[in-house]
Structure 1
Amino acid sequence: MNRLSTLSAGIALGATLALLSMLCALTFALWPDATLDFAGAFTHGLDLGTIKSATPISPGRALYGIVGLGVVGLVTGVVYASIYNVV
């Protein structure tokens, strides 16, 4: 069985999640109602309009989310690859 590089798996997942978060923030900034409608489809029709913020998202807050999700992805990828290599 091939071993996974723990750091490579972590970086790959972290970068992927950061990119997805960046695209999500961009689409929400451009089309907030359509983005909430689309996200509602993933939650089987749950009305997400009630949690929509009245103020637009700031670039700093978007960056905070992008970096945070990237770190979560990095840690998750490292843990996943470590477990994969043991099993």
Structure 2
Amino acid sequence: MTLSPPWKTGLALALTMAFSYIVCALLYRQWPAQGIDFLNALFHGLDFHKLASPAPFTLAVFLYPLVVLALWGFVVGTVFAWLHTLLHGRR
């Protein structure tokens, strides 16, 4: 089995995280109260209502986390693939 270069795994994770964030942000923009309720359920009842902000949902508020998540996904995916190859070797 030939493994792909680590950066390709990084790119796949970065694109997956970016896509997931875009979907999540669009749903939250449409239904903010239900989005917070979903987070509360996802995190075992931790109350996210206290973090709700009356600030408008601007392009900058959308883009900054998108870039951060995509970059983080690329780095984590690349390091993961590199370590996987290092530990398992190329076959």
Partners of 2:34 and 2:6 lie apart in 1 by 37
Q: TM-score, normalised by structure 2?
A: 0.89
Moved over 3 A (4+): none
In structure 2, distance between residues paired with 1:13 and 1:5: 13
- The equivalent residue for 2:23 is 23
Q: Is the 8 A contact 1:29 1:56 kept in 2?
A: no
- Bigger Cα displacement from structure 2, 69-78 vs 19-28: 19-28
Q: Normalization by structure 1: what TM-score? A: 0.93
CA-based RMSD of the aligned residues comes to: 1.1
2-11 vs 21-30, which moves further: 2-11
Considering only CA atoms, is the larger Rg found in Structure 1 or Structure 2?
Answer: 2
Q: Which runs of 5+ in 1 are unaligned?
A: none
User: How many matched pairs?
Assistant: 87
Name structure 2 gaps, 5 residues minimum.
Answer: none
